[in-house]
Amino acid sequence: MAEAGTLHDAFIEELRDTYDAEKQLTKALPKLAKAATDAKLRSAFETHLKETQGQIARLEQVFESLDEKVRGKHCDGIAGIIEEGKSIMEEDFDDTTMDACLIAAGQRAEHYEMAAYGTLVAWAQAMGHTEAATLLQQTLDEEKAADKKLSGLAEGGINQGAADAAHPDDDEAEPVGAAASSARKSSAKTARR
Give the one residue of 143, 149, 150, 153 binding Fe ion; rule: CB under 5 A. Answer: 143
CA gap 20, 79 in Å, rounded: 10
From the CB of 113, what's the least distance to Fe ion, in Å?
5
Amino acid at 70: V
Nearer to Fe ion by Cβ, of 46 and 95: the residue is 46
Residue 187 DSSP label: H
CA gap 27, 62 in Å, rounded: 22
Span 153-182, contacts to Fe ion by CB under 5 A:
none
Per-residue string for binding with Fe ion, 10-29, x by CB under 5 A? ------------x-------
Nearer to Fe ion by Cβ, of 134 and 182: the residue is 134
CA angle, 26 then 32 then 35, to 5°? 145
Nearer to Fe ion by Cβ, of 17 and 22: the residue is 22
Q: Beta-strand (E) ranges in the chain?
A: none
Q: Is residue 78 within 8 Å of residue 17, measured between CB atoms?
A: no
Rule CB under 5 A: is residue 113 a binding residue for Fe ion?
yes
* H or E element, residue 44: helix 39-65
From the CB of 48, what's the least distance to Fe ion, in Å?
6
Span 42-101, contacts to Fe ion by CB under 5 A:
52, 55
List of residues contacting Fe ion (CB under 5 A): 22, 52, 55, 113, 143
